[in-house]
Amino acid sequence: MSLQFEVESCAPSGGRRAQLSLPHGTVQTPVFMPVGTAATVKAVPQDVLEKIGPRVQGSGSSEPEGESVTDGSGAQIILANTYHLYLRPGHELIRRAGGVHRFMSWERPMLTDSGGFQVFSLAKLRKITPEGVEFRSHIDGSKHFFSPEHSMAVQIALGADIMMVFDECVETPASWERTRDSMGLTHAWAERSRAYWVEHRGEVPWAREGSGPRAQGPECGSASSGPWPLNAGPLSGKHQALFGIVQGGMYVDLRKESAERLVEMDFPGYAIGGLAVGEPREVTREMIARTLEWLPKDKPRYVMGVGYPDEIEEYARMGVDMMDCVLPTRAGRHGLLFVREDPADRRSAVVRLNIKKLDNAEDQGPIDAGCACSTCGRYSRAYLRHLFASGEPLGATLNSIHNLHFYLETMERVRGELAGGVEVKGEGEEGKSNSLDAEFGKFKRQVSRSKAGA
């Protein structure tokens, strides 16, 4: 089996606590996945990624004697980007290195996107046809072509545990007709992606015994071959899982059609794509809630590219199992940090702290007094502001570590509450729901006007 998904408990809100078993390990869900675009989570080394966050319940982790209590279980699964790795250093080079796990010395699960979103974001540098997408590299202007089959071939060479079908994203807002045509292309490409995956999935670089990230050749048992043993896990005979991607823009009827069509293709898991691309947050929430209605309850459900800490908590409680976003590290590099309004209450509201502000210049306290991350345990706001003002790279690293810990801590708390059947609702939830409905109606009217003018 390439993927096993076991739901352990469900909450009335739809949220569920589950385990996702993959070739490179077991992931406790719902989970937030840090984004490692170019085989690196920016500014954060892999050994640090393995220790941030709290200790994950059910992961089998124990507290080794003498280890700091701030050391957590770390990121359970991360992402890598197919488009960027295809352009640099090249998927064939990574295949020869034994796959992206070994290339970057990461022994835990990994997911690759299809490259579709990055290609389609190159609006002035690409041409879409039913066969695929011709585009020019943002690096050097060289011409390339991605078809569903080529995207699958690149992702198989990279060797992540989960790969995504090649899909098309539409702009926001887009007319119903434009969205319907794009969705049809996505479905055709999903069928072609699945057919290629079924035929070629045995070609994954690690489809043999010997799974350590450094286990690349006959000399792997030598002292110079790195820290990972030759037989770090039984990967022989296992392969990657392929997820379908539900599209349909901001139209409920198209989302329903897309979900049902992809479920017919019987993928191991399903993603909800085409969101967080400029639409109001209320619309994002509505599209997620409605799409979840039509996806299988016994398979993992992944919302791509979201979001702020309060958003990922909300979506997890709705029934989303997997989420990813560049925000924790990108915000950290720009001096934006996430803290709790009441440091002693880790369920209190999320507050955004701008470390660049002058009032932090002499603040000797931590970013968040209730946070157990290594940054908060050692460094002051004053020092972090100094690093940012001085342009010191260490500042980006320390800020990113804190933000990633904050995200992972949030999801571990949510997992614990879902496992215990705890329902947490904010004040005025009914009024909030009515407000969401009103905002969604307003957005649909804007789209209708766009459609009429198309």
Determine contact, residues 281/308, Cβ cutoff 8 Å. Answer: no
Choosing from 71, 113, 161, 167, the catalytic residue is: 113
113 is catalytic: yes
Whether residues 316 and 361 share a domain: the answer is no
Q: Distance between CA 318 and CA 219 in Å, rounded?
A: 49
- The number of domains in the chain is 2
Domain that holds residue 205: 4-57+72-215+236-325
Whether residues 407 and 288 share a domain: the answer is no
Whether residues 296 and 409 share a domain: the answer is no
Q: Distance between CA 257 and CA 360 in Å, rounded?
A: 51
Q: What tokens appear for 178 in the block?
A: 């434009």
363 is catalytic: no
Choosing from 161, 321, 324, 368, the catalytic residue is: 324
Whether residues 259 and 346 share a domain: the answer is no
Q: Which CATH number do you get for residue 204? A: 3.20.20.105
Q: What is the pLDDT along the chain (454 residues), one digit of tens a residue?
A: 689 999 999 999 999 999 999 999 999 999 999 999 999 999 999 999 999 999 987 765 444 444 444 588 999 999 999 999 999 999 999 999 999 999 999 999 999 999 877 766 777 778 899 999 998 888 999 999 999 999 999 999 999 999 999 999 888 899 999 999 999 999 999 999 999 999 999 999 997 645 455 544 333 333 334 444 434 457 888 999 999 999 999 999 999 999 999 999 999 999 999 999 889 999 999 999 999 999 999 999 999 999 999 999 999 999 999 999 999 999 999 999 999 999 999 999 999 999 999 999 999 999 999 999 999 999 999 999 999 999 999 999 999 999 999 999 999 999 999 998 777 664 444 444 344 444 444 444 444 444 334 3
With a CB cutoff of 8 Å and minimum separation 6, the contacts of 262 are 187, 190, 244, 245, 246, 270
Question: 200 lies in a domain?
Answer: yes
